[in-house]
Structure 1
Amino acid sequence: MKTSVRLLGSAVLALLVATPGIAGETLDRVMSEGKLVMSSDPAYPPQSFLNDANEMDGFDIDVGKEVAKRLGVELEIVTPSWDIITAGRWNGRWDVSIGSMTPTAQRAQVLGFPAIYYYVPAAFAVHNDSAVSSIAELSGKTIGVCGGCTYDAYLQKNLVIDAEGVPAFDYQVTAGEIRTYDTDTSAYDDLRIGDGKRLDAVMSAMPTILEAQKNNYPMKIVGDPAFYEPLAVATDKGDEAFDAKIAEVVQAMHDDGTLTALSEKWFGVDYTSVK
């Protein structure tokens, strides 16, 4: 069936009255209503963004569409802030987050992570006019990151990635100041103003930085990736049947090459396994 996508902005979402807590009934609700509600970020290209037609687009969006299609339901997209998504206790306002979330130990206290669907390198970038040429030179600098995300945790030196097969990493930078933003794009906007004007560097997912460069952001990547992070589908705790169904669907997408094809479409490389 054709998957329809409807976008509810954050302002509209804030007006919704939270439904009573749902524990163990998410799968039943999704299937009976014929609708999967997915949270996403409207400013995180190429994973998720509003395209020229004012429609949600990107790698995560395509993954969400395919998951909904394989469940036999429609897809609806909402855009709450990242900190609200990662706080858990969604109370049925949305069913799933397919938003490039890293399964950390702290998040696992309130969220389920039934399926890892790709892996990405985390990288530092500076303004093109910066004289910085190594990661070591970033210590003491002002670095911008998305608030509450894994890059923020890395700079705070308390990042714990709760997933199997994660390559070991070291904390290579001691930031002079960590400046947090609602989205990575907002950090890029401050960096593009000029070297050292508001930021000395940003830390983000490498494909997101590369996409920003394509869109004429004056940024350059410094050094090798700081770490590699598995990115997972996230659910609210409480429905093992729903988690099992999502895991089954995503595994099938790995097995038949669908995720590889989507990764190559949006990133130009296959990020669906650790190389």
Structure 2
Amino acid sequence: MKKLAAVALLTLGVVLAGCSKQEEATPAAAAPEAPAAITQIVVGLDDNFPPMGFRDDKNELVGFDIDMAKEAAKRLDLQVQFKPIDWSAKEAELSGKRVDVLWNGLTITEERKQNIAFTAPYMENHQIIVVPADSDTQTKADLAGKVVGAQEGSSAVDAVKKEDAVFQSFKEFKTFGDNVTALMDLSAGRLQAVVVDEVVGRYYVAKKPELYRVLDENFGTEEYGVGLRKDDTELLTRLDQAMADMKADGTAAKISEQWFGKDIIK
């Protein structure tokens, strides 16, 4: 009996040792690391788009959207960095994670919604037609046979092309790297009209009423929003809330009045 008991104990020991080795061979998987908390957002913008974002006489970035972004970042306890980009390549800059948001008079369109997530709209805008002050052009129909310009990659291009009959009537449609260059060509006589965001066009017309005039007709109404990557859902939610709070407490209206002389916040 003792011999059998000894054999049984020896067998049990071998089994337990095997179990112990097997357990040691398969350690528990390490818990996944939590994603790093966001501490900074990089804002992509066209730095030649007054009054939304541009460089002042000291070469510092200023503008309505600059002030809005600074205030929102402050409320979110985030650092903010402004990065001028080629606006015609804005979606590539965003998807390539070289910037975190596009905040510079970005029009919300169904086409852009395919690739970009938008905040709630914060401003309504029109695509206006600017002509020389002494031009005989009064309507869109009068643009037939004329050279018309707009900023490359802007919603002005899309708005013009939507009205195919008008677009096809142009002698030529030129695009430019920025609105300032297009308006310079207009004053130099190389263009007969420029289609541009209302907030930009009226800013320049007000500065130089002797050079420019705005037609009563336009190429439609649109809304501005902040663009983010579609997978940045947490940042989108937080940013939407911050901007809603800015509207509710009057901060957004105050920033608007500083740049436009009135509250044009949507």
Pick the TM interval, shorter chain: 0.7 to 0.9
User: Within the alignment, does 1:100 sit opposite 2:105 as a pair?
Assistant: yes
Q: What secondary structure is seen at the aligned counterpart in 2 of 1:39?
A: strand
Provide the residue aligned with 1:117 in structure 2: 122
Q: Which structure 2 segments of 5+ residues have no match? A: 1-34
Shift of residue 220 of structure 1?
0.5
The equivalences for 1:19-168 within 5 A come to 31-32=37-38, 34-87=39-92, 89-157=94-162
- Identical counterparts, % of pairs: 29
User: Within the alignment, does 1:241 sit opposite 2:246 as a pair?
Assistant: no
CA contact (8 A) 1:39 1:77 kept: yes
Shift of residue 88 of structure 1?
5.9
Q: What secondary structure is seen at the aligned counterpart in 2 of 1:119?
A: strand
CA contact (8 A) 1:87 1:110 kept: no
CA contact (8 A) 2:94 2:228 kept: no
Superposition TM-score, scaled by structure 1 size: 0.77
User: Within the alignment, does 1:262 sit opposite 2:255 as a pair?
Assistant: yes
Question: In structure 2, which of residues 170, 175, 181 is the aligned counterpart of residue 186 of structure 1?
Answer: 181
Distance 1:237 1:63 in 2: 22
Q: What secondary structure is seen at the aligned counterpart in 1 of 2:122?
A: strand
Cα 1:81/1:93, change in 2 over 3 Å: same
Distance 1:114 1:229 in 2: 14
Distance 1:87 1:107 in 2: 12
Deviations 1:17-60 (A, max 9, x none): xxxxxxxxxxx65x44x322101111111111101121100101
User: Within the alignment, does 1:200 sit opposite 2:192 as a pair?
Assistant: yes
Distance 1:88 1:114 in 2: 18
Deviations 1:137-161 (A, max 9, x none): 113321110112111011211xxxx
Shift of residue 270 of structure 1?
2.0
**Runs of 4+ deviating beyond 4 Å:** none
Q: How many pairs were matched up?
A: 229
Distance 2:55 2:73 in 1: 20
Distance 1:172 1:220 in 2: 24
Provide the residue aligned with 1:211 in structure 2: 203
Deviations 1:108-160 (A, max 9, x none): 11111022111122210111231112222113321110112111011211xxx
Deviations 1:202-247 (A, max 9, x none): 0112221122124337111012333221100000221211211111
Bigger radius of gyration, 1 or 2?
2
Distance 1:88 1:76 in 2: 15
Cα 1:231/1:171, change in 2 over 3 Å: farther
Q: Which structure 1 segments of 5+ residues have no match? A: 1-27, 158-169
Superposition TM-score, scaled by structure 2 size: 0.80
Higher percent of residues as helix: 2
Cα 1:106/1:88, change in 2 over 3 Å: farther
Cα 1:241/1:56, change in 2 over 3 Å: same
Q: What secondary structure is seen at the aligned counterpart in 2 of 1:115?
A: coil
Q: What secondary structure is seen at the aligned counterpart in 2 of 1:227?
A: strand
Distance 1:88 1:37 in 2: 11
